[in-house]
A and B are shown apart, each in its own frame.
Chain A
């Protein structure tokens, strides 16, 4: 049995601790949001959140009803970032091999040749992840966490950057397998797109579909640049005070009588990483309490459950609770 050695983590690009291209980068992010906005109207914030999630090296879960533009958003974003993009439509009869890939016996050479599944891509859109079976779900989610897959005893690294965007139909729809809590925890953010506002929708309806605009999309970043941005985001300064604030929040969810189970340390780490990435795309080299507060609903809402009904809290309700925690002076 051959076990391929795990690739060493790519060395940090030689950037100084200051952000020399801060302004430049900030302008670039604006441009990215703008470009995506040409196709997806009125969803700038969600675009920014998706970007943030990418730079925080996390994965994104988009939960909404069908037909709201989830897939389009991901496609456009991947193209704008200059990343290699694949899509998997999850169905109930799907097997793990359909995502990871399979070894096929070739009669010509008399050998098993590995055919890479769609997971070997930089951006993977896993559409309607709750339609597939738990077996397949967990195969995908494991790959997300490990950044590598093991097929038939052989470990293969996934490309870098590796960004999974999963979309989810709300649970009340028929024929779905709800994601267990442990799996939900692996997604950095869960966002909702929601219906477009009136003006955006009018604009959308007037435009003859999205195909024409799609043609004008050109990549603004490259895989190397994205990795570099990820590293830079990880080095955004988060002060001791803010770490305390984050810990206070975690502590609150664990001691408050409102929640079934408190936030995990992984959730806390996610919150910090996300805040750093958010500060980074906002053009700052330090985090603010506002960053934490901004991202808290997206990080926390899918990880917290109401103590009485086991149901998730809606975002506003959750925020009303969590945002009573004082910001340290």
Chain B
């Protein structure tokens, strides 16, 4: 069994469809696919004999077992990997049209699988491109002609014709609750902070420029320094890590003296955790499956595994006193550890008992000592004298030895100091600032904007926000974290584009791109049951309740039916116009003969034509006689059978007359 050149376009399309999955599958699968493709290519070029059934079967078995064992069970990744491998293997047995068709059809499945991982504009655009190529190759296989240009054109035409159907399906086909594709994108929730914070947790995010969420304000946006995006509150400390704890108090303490109220719409990217982001301090949020907790954070009882959008209302200047248990919890400290820090706090309490003064002394301490705001604080585990001090005394190490740190270092140390001084304190993790999109007017907050700050309970004012990072690096509040870093400390080459002179030049493009993404997410990927019901009510169909699937299906069918009828009408008309397949096969046959210089005069009937050709080329008699008599019986005979039409197609396809060599 020797492969032929017709495999090459199929190989190309398999590669196009598999490439995006290389990010999702195990590395060895990538290597295996590449090897299989190279082998196929080499086999076509060099006319190698392909492996037999037994070796192919064995290889398939080995690859399946390997796939299932190297991926984490029966995951989407495993199935995608298996599909990619099997398609690549299938390339080795492309002997019949049927084999080729199966390979190409499988590519569509691979493409759809890509949406489980990425539903961004680029991924969707790439998918469209891949569908275009796949369809073109499919047409190419069926036409059996040489060039790829004509199939490509037809493929483009088909895709354009499919647009109305796509729109109707998209808008009107009954949606089911869930993502656009009915399943959570697998990649979501791999970034962002988790339920705990230790040193270095947020610094790791500084290099991550993925969008965390986008906000549109109703009305004026607050000043940048006030944009504290509250995520979670951490009040349990075990000596090295701050945790959220399991306490979920749902009684929300009332806010007092609110004057500045801000309303905004927030679109949160999935992060696979329970928390939602609000502007500090939240008052109301229009998200049904989440509630406000006692610490003024929002808790969703489901993990946020898909992009959500909600309207929030926050107060910038509210006071909250909280409950007693909240601030009692804010005093909890481990029994021992960080003795030097405790001593520092004790020295302050000896001077004054006023918590506000102690707080000021701590901030002054951060300002006056030589603290450096940096992403690379170095490791704190190893003491100055070389002995390992263990994880317990990290805050001591930071405050007195290294004095280099990122926001979480300052927040954690500050909260520890306050607690040691007997003042209730807790850490709030979230984001600070954001970038205004110049075209969309909305605010984009990225993972690199992640931030941690403190809240201190003062008897007169309740919980007060204190940001020790601002004491060390005030410019952090003016721009993003990267810009606040000391000169020369570029995190990566990427930051060169973000902060360097190029940034000004690139910024408009980046803004426009982000706007596009935001609209895509909101209008296309975010088109859910609620939006569909909204559309229906705008069209005059008021459906409510859960059991309206049948009605929605009815609306869809009512809209799709005219389209289907139109399509049917067009197809039937085309059929007549094109004078069916038999004519086109006959034309192909005549063309093939015309190519070797035996064109049919247009006025000549099939039998006369055959007689004339056979005069010149008696060597072709067998095949020509078969084709012509089949054509005559189909075209002029009483009944045209479908199988005869297919037979004629195959005969004409396989009819390859060679020009007679002149001796």
Q: What is the predominant secondary structure among interface residues of chain A facing chain B?
A: loop
Give the residues in chain A near B603, CB-CB below 8 Å. 323-327
Q: Which of A184-192, A234-242, A301-309 contacts B (4 or more CB under 8 A)?
A: A234-242
| Other A-B pairs beyond A289-B605, A328-B579, A329-B590, 16, CB < 8 Å | A239-B636, A241-B635, A241-B636, A242-B636, A286-B638, A287-B636, A288-B605, A289-B606, A290-B605, A293-B608, A324-B603, A325-B603, A327-B605, A329-B583, A329-B584, A329-B586
CB distance from B637 to the nearest CB of A (A): 5
**Cβ < 8 Å to B, chain A residues 172-219:** none
CB within 8 Å for A293 and B636 given contacts A328-B579, A329-B586, A329-B587:
no
Most buried by A among B602, B606, B635: B635
In the assembled complex, the Cα of A60 lies from the Cα of B204 at a distance in Å of: 104
* Interface assignment of B98: CB less than 8 Å from any CB of chain A: no
CB distance from A19 to the nearest CB of B (A): 10
CB distance from A27 to the nearest CB of B (A): 21
In the assembled complex, the Cα of A281 lies from the Cα of B632 at a distance in Å of: 18
Give the residues in chain B near A293, CB-CB below 8 Å. 605, 608
Give the residues in chain B near A242, CB-CB below 8 Å. 636
Tell me if A285 and B605 are in contact (CB < 8 A). Answer: no
In the assembled complex, the Cα of A326 lies from the Cα of B584 at a distance in Å of: 15
Task: Return 9 A-B CB contacts under 8 Å, by A number.
Answer: A237-B636, A241-B636, A286-B636, A287-B636, A288-B607, A290-B605, A326-B603, A327-B603, A329-B586
CB within 8 Å for A328 and B583 given contacts A288-B607, A293-B605, A323-B603:
yes
Most buried by B among A242, A288, A289: A289
In the assembled complex, the Cα of A238 lies from the Cα of B635 at a distance in Å of: 10
CB distance from B53 to the nearest CB of A (A): 43
**Cβ < 8 Å to A, chain B residues 562-606:** 579, 583-584, 586-587, 590, 602-606
Q: A222-264, CB under 8 A of B: which get 1 and which 0?
A: 0000000000000001110110000000000000000000000
Tell me if A290 and B608 are in contact (CB < 8 A). Answer: yes
Give the residues in chain A near B584, CB-CB below 8 Å. 329
**Cβ < 8 Å to B, chain A residues 309-329:** 323-329
CB distance from B91 to the nearest CB of A (A): 37
Give the residues in chain A near B635, CB-CB below 8 Å. 239, 241
Q: B601-622, CB under 8 A of A: which get 1 and which 0?
A: 0111111100000000000000
Give the residues in chain A near B587, CB-CB below 8 Å. 329
Q: Which 3 A-B pairs have the closest CB atoms?
A: A289-B605, A326-B602, A329-B583
- Looking across the interface, which residue of chain A has its beta carbon closest to that of B576? A240
- Looking across the interface, which residue of chain B has its beta carbon closest to that of A322? B603
- Looking across the interface, which residue of chain A has its beta carbon closest to that of B631? A329
Give the residues in chain B near A290, CB-CB below 8 Å. 605-608
- Looking across the interface, which residue of chain A has its beta carbon closest to that of B634? A239
In the assembled complex, the Cα of A239 lies from the Cα of B640 at a distance in Å of: 11
Give the residues in chain A near B632, CB-CB below 8 Å. 286, 288
In the assembled complex, the Cα of A103 lies from the Cα of B56 at a distance in Å of: 99
Tell me if B638 and A285 are in contact (CB < 8 A). Answer: yes
Q: A37-65, CB under 8 A of B: which get 1 and which 0?
A: 00000000000000000000000000000
In the assembled complex, the Cα of A327 lies from the Cα of B601 at a distance in Å of: 9
In the assembled complex, the Cα of A328 lies from the Cα of B587 at a distance in Å of: 10
- Looking across the interface, which residue of chain B has its beta carbon closest to that of A289? B605
B residues contacting the other copy or chain, number (CB 8 A): 19
- Looking across the interface, which residue of chain B has its beta carbon closest to that of A242? B636
Give the residues in chain B near A289, CB-CB below 8 Å. 605-606, 636
- Looking across the interface, which residue of chain A has its beta carbon closest to that of B638? A237
Chain A contact-residue range equals: 20 to 34
- Looking across the interface, which residue of chain B has its beta carbon closest to that of A327? B605
Tell me if B637 and A239 are in contact (CB < 8 A). Answer: yes
Give the residues in chain B near A325, CB-CB below 8 Å. 603
In the assembled complex, the Cα of A327 lies from the Cα of B602 at a distance in Å of: 6
Contact of B636 among A17, A288, A323 (CB under 8 A): A288
- Looking across the interface, which residue of chain A has its beta carbon closest to that of B611? A290
In the assembled complex, the Cα of A154 lies from the Cα of B398 at a distance in Å of: 134
Give the residues in chain A near B590, CB-CB below 8 Å. 329
- Looking across the interface, which residue of chain A has its beta carbon closest to that of B632? A288
In the assembled complex, the Cα of A289 lies from the Cα of B636 at a distance in Å of: 9
CB distance from B638 to the nearest CB of A (A): 4
Give the residues in chain A near B636, CB-CB below 8 Å. 237-239, 241-242, 286-289
In the assembled complex, the Cα of A264 lies from the Cα of B605 at a distance in Å of: 24
CB distance from B512 to the nearest CB of A (A): 53
Tell me if A286 and B637 are in contact (CB < 8 A). Answer: yes
- Looking across the interface, which residue of chain B has its beta carbon closest to that of A279? B636
Give the residues in chain B near A241, CB-CB below 8 Å. 579, 635-636
**Cβ < 8 Å to A, chain B residues 464-519:** none
In the assembled complex, the Cα of A157 lies from the Cα of B608 at a distance in Å of: 43
CB distance from A16 to the nearest CB of B (A): 12
- Looking across the interface, which residue of chain B has its beta carbon closest to that of A291? B605
CB distance from B450 to the nearest CB of A (A): 70
Give the residues in chain A near B602, CB-CB below 8 Å. 326-327
Q: A145-173, CB under 8 A of B: which get 1 and which 0?
A: 00000000000000000000000000000
CB distance from B424 to the nearest CB of A (A): 92
In the assembled complex, the Cα of A154 lies from the Cα of B606 at a distance in Å of: 52
In the assembled complex, the Cα of A327 lies from the Cα of B636 at a distance in Å of: 12
Tell me if B607 and A237 are in contact (CB < 8 A). Answer: no
In the assembled complex, the Cα of A326 lies from the Cα of B583 at a distance in Å of: 14
Give the residues in chain B near A17, CB-CB below 8 Å. 638
- Looking across the interface, which residue of chain A has its beta carbon closest to that of B586? A329
In the assembled complex, the Cα of A285 lies from the Cα of B606 at a distance in Å of: 16
Give the residues in chain A near B608, CB-CB below 8 Å. 290, 293
- Looking across the interface, which residue of chain B has its beta carbon closest to that of A323? B603
In the assembled complex, the Cα of A327 lies from the Cα of B600 at a distance in Å of: 10
Most buried by B among A289, A324, A326, A329: A329
- Looking across the interface, which residue of chain A has its beta carbon closest to that of B589? A329
Give the residues in chain B near A288, CB-CB below 8 Å. 605-607, 632, 636
CB distance from A329 to the nearest CB of B (A): 4
- Looking across the interface, which residue of chain B has its beta carbon closest to that of A292? B605
In the assembled complex, the Cα of A290 lies from the Cα of B607 at a distance in Å of: 7
- Looking across the interface, which residue of chain B has its beta carbon closest to that of A326? B602
Give the residues in chain A near B637, CB-CB below 8 Å. 237, 239, 286
CB distance from A313 to the nearest CB of B (A): 18
In the assembled complex, the Cα of A111 lies from the Cα of B633 at a distance in Å of: 62
Give the residues in chain A near B604, CB-CB below 8 Å. 327
Give the residues in chain B near A286, CB-CB below 8 Å. 632-633, 636-638
In the assembled complex, the Cα of A139 lies from the Cα of B120 at a distance in Å of: 90
Give the residues in chain B near A324, CB-CB below 8 Å. 603
Most buried by A among B579, B586, B587, B636: B636
Give the residues in chain A near B638, CB-CB below 8 Å. 17, 237, 285-286
In the assembled complex, the Cα of A327 lies from the Cα of B605 at a distance in Å of: 6
- Looking across the interface, which residue of chain B has its beta carbon closest to that of A285? B638
In the assembled complex, the Cα of A271 lies from the Cα of B335 at a distance in Å of: 115
In the assembled complex, the Cα of A324 lies from the Cα of B579 at a distance in Å of: 21
Tell me if A329 and B579 are in contact (CB < 8 A). Answer: yes
Give the residues in chain B near A326, CB-CB below 8 Å. 602-603
In the assembled complex, the Cα of A13 lies from the Cα of B364 at a distance in Å of: 121
Give the residues in chain A near B586, CB-CB below 8 Å. 329
Give the residues in chain B near A285, CB-CB below 8 Å. 638
- Looking across the interface, which residue of chain A has its beta carbon closest to that of B583? A329
- Looking across the interface, which residue of chain A has its beta carbon closest to that of B602? A326
In the assembled complex, the Cα of A237 lies from the Cα of B640 at a distance in Å of: 12
In the assembled complex, the Cα of A287 lies from the Cα of B636 at a distance in Å of: 6
Most buried by A among B584, B604, B605, B608: B605
Q: B624-649, CB under 8 A of A: which get 1 and which 0?
A: 00000000110111100000000000
Most buried by A among B583, B602, B603: B603
Q: B391-412, CB under 8 A of A: which get 1 and which 0?
A: 0000000000000000000000
CB distance from A243 to the nearest CB of B (A): 11
In the assembled complex, the Cα of A140 lies from the Cα of B590 at a distance in Å of: 50
CB distance from A137 to the nearest CB of B (A): 37
In the assembled complex, the Cα of A327 lies from the Cα of B603 at a distance in Å of: 5
In the assembled complex, the Cα of A286 lies from the Cα of B639 at a distance in Å of: 10
In the assembled complex, the Cα of A327 lies from the Cα of B583 at a distance in Å of: 11
